[in-house]
A and B are shown apart, each in its own frame.
Chain A
């Protein structure tokens, strides 16, 4: 094994750590929101710092590999895709960290009825399933599995598109809870964003393994073979 191979292995492992940490954050955030668990929310916010640390580590490792080894072909695609996935995961973690911060800002719990009405629990579940898939796809370099997340992201979009209509009656009926309503609205947006981010990660994995660029292809996913 060459020196570069060692570094690539190491980076793969660190990245997996990042994936798993972020997944755990999402699981915790779902629980904290449903049970209005302030202690758990504080834990989430604390862990966010650690995740930021791992993000910086991965950035630095990528930079070093590029500078020292001048990787080409599949090695280069690997480093570029890890670099981007890293950024996507960090933003994902940021989004759930924001939701945790909403919990800490409220004295009284959110309405379970509204949570269910907006579909937040489903959205969390879909998000977690997407994460589970993408992590497995990453570990096994399975691009077929990676492609599965596209369909799931569509479901998240549906909830997102409906949210204004769903939340409007509650805002009109209970204006004193406006802040809570707005936070829940924001949580939906964040979860929809997370779906987009996981889709990006899938694109980057496919770029790495197949050298296919699926970015900006819209509904018509005709791949560009990089040249």
Chain B
């Protein structure tokens, strides 16, 4: 695969929180329309790296980074880059569902609203499409004005996914999207994520290795701020190349 075909590329990336080095020399290339899972013990830097991709680390005062991160070949840390634009192309779903305390409709429409979209018909259609993509439409279509907080945990997370989809991004970042949910909601959302990869490129941090095994195409193993191994998920789980990787996935440390 040649350089231009990768969706996301990280080259020699270092991340610092003040003096503390959080990530060292990360090199990673993500193929479009695949699901990539980041695994590793707590504090290994996988969430930090994920947040680099939509520049959410910018909100941490002591954050600084070296190296380049390109999406569709463009360096997203160039000074001229408008962060707000980047985020309409790279969406994010967080660990704990965080719907706005507004109606279901307003939640999904928010992303469009802040871009200045005024056409009510267009917004309605987009909301419906997004909710259908998130497999939530059937459950909420009768009352979109209901408060988002009245939904169950699993439904709220699907709502957050719909909210991210409504602005039609290319990439969706997920930070442990099912870790606060029960097994049935988790299974539903895993099915959903698997279907989404047809249209989107998905990067997912997960603590649950079986989850990475179930739905991801590629897996990256982070440990103490370094990228130890990155490869096809089937390879990582049947015959990893690095001892550290094998020890982690067989539960022998971390």
Contact = CB atoms under 8 A, between A and B. Distances in A.
Contact of B209 (A72, A76, A227): A72
B218 to A, nearest CB: 13
Interface in A61-109: 70-77
A211 B238 contact: yes
Interface in A180-226: 211, 225-226
A27 interface: no
Contacts of A168: none
B252 interface: yes
B238 A226 contact: yes
Interface residues of B, number: 15
Contacts of B240: 73
Nearest to B252: A2
B239 A75 contact: no
B246 A73 contact: yes
Name the interface size band of chain A. Answer: 10 to 19
A211 B209 CA distance: 21
Interface stretch (B55-63, B155-163, B189-197, B229-237): B229-237
A75 B250 contact: yes
B239 A70 contact: no
A73 B251 contact: no
A73 B240 CA distance: 7
Contacts of B234: 227
B210 interface: yes
Contacts of A56: none
B249 interface: yes
B213 interface: yes
A73 B250 contact: yes
Interface in A145-191: none
B192 to A, nearest CB: 22
Contacts of A70: 210
A75 B250 CA distance: 7
Contact of B238 (A2, A4, A77): A77
Nearest to A73: B246
A227 B234 CA distance: 7
A4 B239 contact: no
Given A225-B239, A226-B238, A227-B235, A74 B251 contact: no
A72 B237 contact: yes
Contacts of B252: 2
Contacts of B246: 73-74
Contacts of B235: 227
A121 B240 CA distance: 45
A149 B251 CA distance: 34
A72 B213 contact: yes
A16 B137 CA distance: 57
Nearest to B231: A227
A76 B240 CA distance: 12
Nearest to A76: B238
B238 to A, nearest CB: 6
Interface of A: 2, 4, 70-77, 211, 225-227
Given A70-B210, A74-B246, A227-B235, 12 more contacts: A72-B238, A72-B249, A73-B237, A73-B239, A73-B240, A73-B246, A75-B250, A76-B237, A211-B238, A211-B239, A225-B239, A227-B239
